[in-house]
A and B are shown apart, each in its own frame.
Chain A
């Protein structure tokens, strides 16, 4: 997405956020439209967020879990989405374990497809809501120092954030053990640190990533405890960052592992704001995609 596109979504989302705080949280904008949520991986936040966003726009929202769909019987992704298109689905939202799944779907469909996460590749709506949250607390995005900490190699959240933030002129550092930082990631325009305190020094924003137990067959660190000691964020280590630093986390949080409970629940944490903003971002995206075709949000 270009800088203008990103800002257009953020601005629209600010307006939508106000609507979600009223008693009647619905607007008739997507009335009669059909939105399908197709999730091949588990999700609490993202899936519910998309569902609520669609319903608040008065759309009919349908949820399909990959594990209970005919994909289990061997139906291909392309066949699956073409069948959904035959039922006149207006917007397809897809989360899949393979990179490029959303792009593949989009190539075969007339109507918009939104990528809710494809393998390790991207999770664009997460990056958008992260930016929205940061912008609420820090007026100017350009020149901000953001540190992303954790399993960068396996993180689509990190990748999407890096792309988006670099487009907006934000200074990004990635922090983690060498086993979790992809080789040549400097080419994405980020600084690399293997020491947490150095990596978060003077940061305006720290984004903590979850240790993904479910993705790793090999272990990338000796023990959870060692990871937590070296890279876990606690109050003490937080002092290295700026006084008004923001703490973000895409969720779900491994309490006590990558981040200590007092930081998760503390004043710097905007983790729950992220979730609130997620609904507004997704509403904004659906509004902006209306009437367009051949678009993938990636």
Chain B
């Protein structure tokens, strides 16, 4: 059985804390928007949006980013992931954007997300909220908000299961196959 590193209640508390931190660090909600990176960054961002609404009674703008076409590993001939929609229904210009993803690992996904975001306009700033930071950065990228730091070895993997996608809330550490 794979060890559970975060259960449903811990996930909920982490999201709650991150929501408070976002509002604190940005001194409120002005000019602020959340952008969830597909796939599980999106329910993560939506939950943050809901939590912030209950704290500050403000509906933050929410965007969805599919970074498939901006990846740096498309040309290696592996199977092509399905491209889903990207929706940024607000102007990126002069807005502070909080990118939201479930796991931060090498940092390459975030690099792709920033590049894609820049194609929409020039944000006032970009911050990063991640539910899990598992280390092993390959690019100089660092999170502003972290749910939990989980040291892992490269061969392990972290599986985040969120109710909206997977039917339950749980974060599990999976060992490499023998």
Contact = CB atoms under 8 A, between A and B. Distances in A.
Interface of A: 11-12, 15-16, 18-19, 24, 26-29, 33, 287-288, 290-292
Interface of B: 66, 69-70, 74-78, 80, 82-86, 115, 119-120
23 contacts: A11-B82, A12-B83, A15-B82, A15-B84, A16-B83, A18-B85, A18-B86, A26-B119, A27-B69, A27-B70, A28-B69, A29-B69, A29-B70, A29-B74, A33-B75, A287-B69, A287-B80, A290-B74, A290-B75, A291-B74, A291-B76, A291-B77, A292-B77
Given A24-B120, A27-B69, A28-B70, A288 B115 contact: no
A33 B82 CA distance: 21
A284 to B, nearest CB: 9
A234 to B, nearest CB: 40
Q: Which residue of B66, B70, B74, B115 has the most chain A CB atoms within 10 A of its CB atom?
A: B74
Contacts of B70: 27-29
Nearest to A18: B85
Contacts of A11: 82
B75 A24 contact: no
A121 B105 CA distance: 50
Contacts of B82: 11-12, 15
A24 B119 CA distance: 7
A184 B20 CA distance: 73
Contacts of A15: 66, 82-85
Contact of B80 (A18, A26, A28, A288): A288
A230 B80 CA distance: 48
A19 B69 contact: yes
Contacts of A287: 69, 74, 80, 83
Contacts of B75: 33, 290-291
A292 B76 CA distance: 9
B70 to A, nearest CB: 6
Contacts of A29: 69-70, 74
A28 B83 contact: no
A290 B83 CA distance: 15
A15 to B, nearest CB: 4
B110 to A, nearest CB: 16
A33 B75 CA distance: 10
Nearest to B112: A28
A285 B174 CA distance: 36
A58 to B, nearest CB: 10
Nearest to B78: A291
The 10 A-B residue pairs whose C-beta atoms are closest, nearest first, are A291-B77, A15-B83, A27-B69, A24-B119, A29-B69, A288-B80, A291-B75, A29-B74, A290-B75, A18-B85
